[in-house]
Amino acid sequence: MIKDIEIREAILDDLPEITSIFRDTVRAINSRDYSETQIEIWSSGADDTEIWEERINNLYFIVAEYRNEIVGFAHVTKGCHLDGIYVHKNYQRRTIGSKLLRIVESQIMAEGYEVINADSSITSVDFFDSHYFEQIKKQKKSYKGKGFAYSIFSKEL
């Protein structure tokens, strides 16, 4: 467990660290549940800088910092949909994801929502289970022409 984690809203200057965490985490952590082709396609999303800039500028987007290094991030769409939560590959299972989730849940409640929804990769199912989310259904979606299995989760706040 890491104690000195600072959570703050993301700014555009964070973009290189955010996209690096995204790419590296997908390649190192999600590779145990997805094919090499799927991982290459998924991690290439880090190169879509316009999308990342739009997320930072228009969504509730937070980062976790430890010793002046970004070690995780989360962002919310549609008011109550956790669209992404990623933790640096070297900081997995050290409460960073849990802290990001608590802040996101607080923000969602402050905006008057009573439920949080999330799409989950196969890899993060245990994380959502351990945080009292209910798995609603399993699905597949297409991203850049390749199918990806994922689950839809929901939790009452």
Task: Give 31's contacts (C-beta < 8 A, 6+ positions apart).
Answer: 39
CATH code, 117: 3.40.630.30
* Residue 1 lies inside a defined structural domain of this protein: no
Q: Is 135 among the domain residues?
A: yes
Residue 9: Cβ-neighbour burial (10 angstroms; 0-12, 13-18, 19+): exposed
pLDDT confidence of residue 155? 97
Considering the domain boundaries, does residue 66 fall inside one? Answer: yes
Q: How far apart are CA 106 and CA 112, in angstroms?
A: 10
Residue 6 neighbours by CB distance under 10 Å: 13
Return the pLDDT at 141.
76
Q: What is the pLDDT at residue 149? A: 83
The answer to whether residue 142 sits within a structural domain is yes
Q: Has residue 114 been placed in a domain? A: yes
Number of domains in the chain: 1
pTM of the shown model: 0.93
Q: What gap in Å lies between CA 74 and CA 86, rounded to an integer?
A: 6
Instruction: Give me the pLDDT at residue 52, please.
Output: 98
Q: What is the pLDDT of residue 49?
A: 95
pLDDT for res 78: 86
Rounded-to-integer distance, Cα 145 and Cα 109, Å: 36
Residues of the chain with pLDDT under 70: none
9, containing H or E segment:
strand 6-9
Q: Could you tell me if 118 and 26 are in contact, meaning their C-beta atoms sit under 8 angstroms apart?
A: no
Residue range of the domain that includes 25:
6-156
- Burial zone of 100 (CB within 10 Å; 0-12 exposed, 13-18 middle, 19+ buried): buried
Residue 140: what pLDDT? 82
